[in-house]
Amino acid sequence: MKASDRWKSLKREGLSESDIRKTFNEKTPMKVFAWNTDREIDTVMTPMDSIKYSREMLQTAFMVMDPLTGQVKAWVGGIDFKNYKYDHVNIRTKRQVGSAIKPFLYALAVEEYGFTPETECEATAQYFPGSGWVPANNTGRTGTRSMAAGLTWSINEVAAYLIKQTTPQRFADFIKQINIPTKVEPYPSISLGTCDLSLYEMMWGYTMFPGNGFSAKPVYITRIEDKNGNVLARFDTERKEVISQSTAYTMTRMLQGPVDIGTAAGLRSRLGISEMGGKTGTTNDYSDAWFIGFTPQLSAGVWVGCDNRFIRLESKMGEGGRAARPIWEYFFKKAFEDKTLGLDKQAKFIQPENMRSEMLYDYMNIQDQAPPPGAEGVDEGNGAANEYLYAPEENDIPVESQLSLEEQKILKEAKDKKNIDPAKDKNAPADDGHLNEEKKKKGLFKRIFGKKKDKDEE
């Protein structure tokens, strides 16, 4: 209300705040936005009702670019510039990114830590001293999943395991390394996308996958000329190698999982594309829905949400695969139908020479692995931000005084190694989640975590 032109105008006229508030509850003839050819309609309502009406409109940010040159092909900042002048693509417009950030984490694990699509990852919540459990809304899942399966179904526990191995600080540094300007704080929860980034930045980051390891900054003006054709300014493509070509190729193939059988299942087959990659994103309480996808020739990203985060789609309708993905699919269907654009459905990502003699992982063998309960064709949200600050319940894990002398010794060694103050972290697992096989065999796993690994897990 106080941000409206009406409030500011009446304030300048000298009206008191109480008198101004009264005017917002008086019915007034006005024009408001409407989904018609004129994009507005004459009506009578109170200014307060017009604010509610306006704010409940779902907004969309949509951007298309050439991932090799960085040239922007389409930029849609919102519904309608006359009524909504806020540009939702702009680099300064940041929203929580959710699972759309996970490909960056996976790329780091592949690039620097030797992970491959078939690497088995723990599919259990991970404990971080000083931060608690990630994900905080523990589903109780156990066992392992391949890295490819974790990305395909956007399994939060796998992302938590990966950031445990790479460390939150290294991941935060990696986000900066791939040219994303916004500083991301190194909290464990960033593995699930609790940070705020713009669509512009996300598109910039994703270019490294179809760009053979090179990041390309989006550019929408190539040059400025005067009336005589003299070039006053030129804006060239800015590319920087941020990951290896083999990592980029591995990620493009692994990102085919979500669009084939995962959180955006069937997208590639419906469009008839030979090769593509994509990732959904869903955030707290379905406030933000994302889908970013790419072919070898074109990359596009979608964000859907309301300007006020407390206004959101209900239930699963707010998932990235349901709210954002259809926009991406509709655009690419039309783009492929336009033969003047020169888009080739059969285009393929460039396989590096050093990978051509290798036995490549069968990215589709994850079809034999059932998705986790409730995750088939769904993108898990990232929980509420404050959930990552609570300490585990006392009954979750025995405190130090309840452990045997041998277990206390293990706990002390682990904490000394990690430079953790035991007095400040009494509820931490025995060795920060890294019990080795010998310790498990001795029965300490059961003692400390209160359960016994079944034969398959063992």
Task: Using the CB atoms, write b or e for 365-377: b if 16+ within 10 Å.
Answer: ebeeeebbeebeb
pLDDT averaged per 10 residues in sequence order, the chain, 458 residues: 92 95 95 91 96 92 97 94 90 95 98 95 92 82 91 94 96 97 95 96 98 96 95 93 96 95 94 97 90 98 93 85 96 96 95 74 56 53 49 35 49 54 48 42 39 44
Residues 260 and 116 in one domain: yes
Distance of CA 199 to the CA centre of its chain: 10
Q: Which residues contact 447 (CB under 8 A, 6 or more apart)?
A: 398, 403, 404, 407
Residue 348 domain flag: yes
Residues 145 and 245 in one domain: yes
Task: Using the CB atoms, write b or e for 392-405: b if 16+ within 10 Å.
Answer: beeeebbebeebee
User: How many domains, in total, are found in the chain?
Assistant: 3
Q: Is 70 left (phi over 0), alpha (psi -120 to 50) or beta?
A: left
Residue 68 domain flag: yes
Q: Are 265 and 377 in contact (CB under 8 A)?
A: yes
Domain that residue 435 falls in:
393-449
Residues 440 and 405 in one domain: yes
Residues 134 and 165 in one domain: yes
Choose one of 335, 360, 387: the last residue of a domain. 387
Residues 437 and 313 in one domain: no
DSSP 281-303: EE-GGG-EEEEEEE-SS-EEEEE
The whole-angstrom separation of Cα 251 and Cα 373 is 25
pLDDT of 355 reads 81
Residues 148 and 278 in one domain: yes
Choose one of 340, 357, 387: the last residue of a domain. 387
Residue 2 domain flag: no
- Residue whose structure tokens are 């050439």: 66
Residues 193 and 298 in one domain: yes
Residues 302 and 351 in one domain: yes
CA distances from 40 to 77, 88, 92, 406 (A): 18, 21, 28, 73
The whole-angstrom separation of Cα 114 and Cα 103 is 15
302-305: long-range pairs with CB below 8 Å, 24+: 302/60, 302/61, 302/62, 302/199, 302/327, 302/328, 303/60, 303/61, 303/62, 303/88, 303/95, 303/199, 304/58, 304/59, 304/60, 305/58, 305/59, 305/95
Residue 77 domain flag: yes
Q: Are 98 and 379 in contact (CB under 8 A)?
A: yes
pLDDT of 224 reads 96
Distance of CA 232 to the CA centre of its chain: 39
Residue 268 domain flag: yes
Residues facing residue 234 across a β-bridge: 223
Residue 455 domain flag: no
Q: Are 300 and 343 in contact (CB under 8 A)?
A: no
pLDDT of 364 reads 54
Q: Are 83 and 95 in contact (CB under 8 A)?
A: no
